[in-house]
Structure formats: structure tokens, C-alpha cells
Amino acid sequence: LRGGGTGVPAHGNVSFHMPQTKKKSTMYNSFFDPSLERKRAFPSPSEAVVAARILLYMRREDDVPFLKHVISRGMEEHPDSADLKILYITFLRFVFKSPIAAAEQERAVKARLNTLPIDFQYVFYVVERKATQASATESIGFGNVTSMHLMEWDAGIA
């Protein structure tokens, strides 16, 4: 060795070999991994539902794009989850304000509605009724209809 034991070979040819560093897998990397070759972001559909509900519970409008990503990723990973599908339809209809996309998803769920558990059938029914009610209130010109609004509208006052 030259230079008093510095690790450089005596013949002068210096070869630097960089050690292979393995990219550390973080939750962020695994969540946004588009190839899905790594672990899933949501090992079960219920975890996707919980994550979406927690984001919704925070009530921050800045979180809506991320909420859309969370629910879409959950649907991508667990397309057969009835709970996730109904939540997705609900979000499309009432949070993301996308009734056309919601109607497409509703048609897909209606095709196999009888195969769903009764509680999911009821939730689906409630979502449909609420959507019908919301579209009816928009057609008479009120954003939030009360019984008083309906009486005034019926009497021709409003």
C-alpha cells in the first residue's frame, strides 16, 4: 500500500466501487407505487374505507384530491369490495359532485345488487333516495329543502 496504509493499491490503478444502496421502503413509497409490485397500500378493503372516512371526517377541502386518490386506490386494489364500492358511489355523488360517474357505478352495482348483503342493499337504497331528493331540490330551486320550503313552493309563494 502506498501512502502509509491509505487503502490505495501500490500499482496505481484505483478502482472505486460504490456500495449498492438499497432504496429504503417507506410508507410513502409503497403507497404511491404505481406498479403495485410492492406491498399494497391497503391490505384489506376495510383499511381503505377507514382511511377515506378519516379524511372525510377532518372536513378539509384541501384533502379532497387526496381523498379521491385514496378511494380510487382502494377500488383499484379491491374491486370486489361492496363496502368500498358503495362508499365510492356516495363520494362520487355527494363529495366529488360527479353524478355522471356515480350513475355509471350505480348501474354496475344494480346489476348484482341481490348478491350483496342486506345491509349494503339498504345503504345503496339510501344513497339512491338521497341523490333523488337532492336532484329534486335543485329542480325546484332550493339547495336545502325543508318542509316549509315545500309548502311555500306548493302554494306558489316561493
- Section 30-40 average pLDDT: 62
pLDDT at 150: 64
Contact 89, 71 (CB under 8 A): no
HSE of 141 in the Cβ direction (CA atoms, 13 Å)? 8
- Higher local confidence (pLDDT), 1 or 54: 54
- Section 37-44 average pLDDT: 75
- Confidence check: pLDDT of 112 > 90: no
- Confidence check: pLDDT of 49 > 90: yes
Contact 87, 52 (CB under 8 A): yes
- Section 121-144 average pLDDT: 71
pLDDT at 69: 93
Q: How confident is the model at residue 115 (pLDDT cuts 50, 70, 90)?
A: confident
pTM of the predicted protein model: 0.59
Q: Which amino acid is at 92?
A: L
- Confidence check: pLDDT of 92 > 60: yes
- Confidence check: pLDDT of 128 > 70: yes
- Which residues, 6 or more positions from 107, have their beta carbon under 8 angstroms from its beta carbon? none
Rounded distance, CA 77 to CA 81, Å? 9
Q: Is the dihedral of CA 52, 53, 58, 61 positive or negative?
A: positive
